[in-house]
Amino acid sequence: MYLIEYFTHLLPFIPALIIVRILTTFLRRQFKKNTTLWHEAGVVALWLYIAAVCSVTVNISGILNGYFRISSEYNLTPLAGIIQMAQSTSSGYAALNILGNIVMFMPLGFLLSLLWSKWRMPHIVIAALLCSVSIEVMQFFTGRGADIDDVILNTLGGITGTFVSWILQRIFPRAANAFLVSKGTHY
């Protein structure tokens, strides 16, 4: 059932994916840069990851159908929700929620740093922050609620994913280089 829902949520991303791939191909030709098949596979993985995160966190079909309801539940005080959750619920639930928010954004930092070497930590932090804020805003306007703690944990996940990518790039430099955009032909 989840796969059916996931692919339903993926459908709106397909036209955007096609447009972006056409634009990037055109730009690469303008700057005489080519990519490897591994890089293209990584970009597709990034898009599928984004679609999966959206399917889990945002009511996309509700937004597409014009469903908007401002939530009365929100937390704008950093760490307040985490502290409250740790004090009022089981420690297992609190740990799962905290780790879930971190792990959910690790692929973003991992893929961005693996696919584009010019993306440094500040770029990835900003990307993770903006993606997380976008999710929280959409959740707020679809009645699900918003939490600054999720933004903090998601951004920490992006940072953690970047560190994992850097470690693997140092352990397996040849494999990691296959994912980068470079000058010259690699097909």
Residue 186, pLDDT score: 40
CB 165 within 8 A of CB 109: yes
Which residues are 183's β-sheet partners? 33
pTM score, whole prediction: 0.80
Q: 10-residue block means of pLDDT along the chain (187 residues)?
A: 62 74 72 75 86 81 74 89 80 84 96 91 96 93 90 98 96 92 50
| CB-based burial label for 187 (10 Å; 0-12, 13-18, 19+) | exposed
Residue 152, pLDDT score: 97
Residue 64, pLDDT score: 66
Residue 69, pLDDT score: 81
Residue 173, pLDDT score: 94
Q: Where are the domains of the chain?
A: 2-183
* Separation in Å, CA 1 to CA 7, 13, 56, 104: 10, 20, 13, 20
**Using CA atoms, how far apart are residues 45 and 65, in angstroms rounded to an integer?**
27
In what helix (H) or strand (E) does residue 90 lie, and over which residues does it extend?
none
Residue 14, pLDDT score: 74
**Inter-axis angle of helices 80-88 and 148-171, nearest 10:** 100
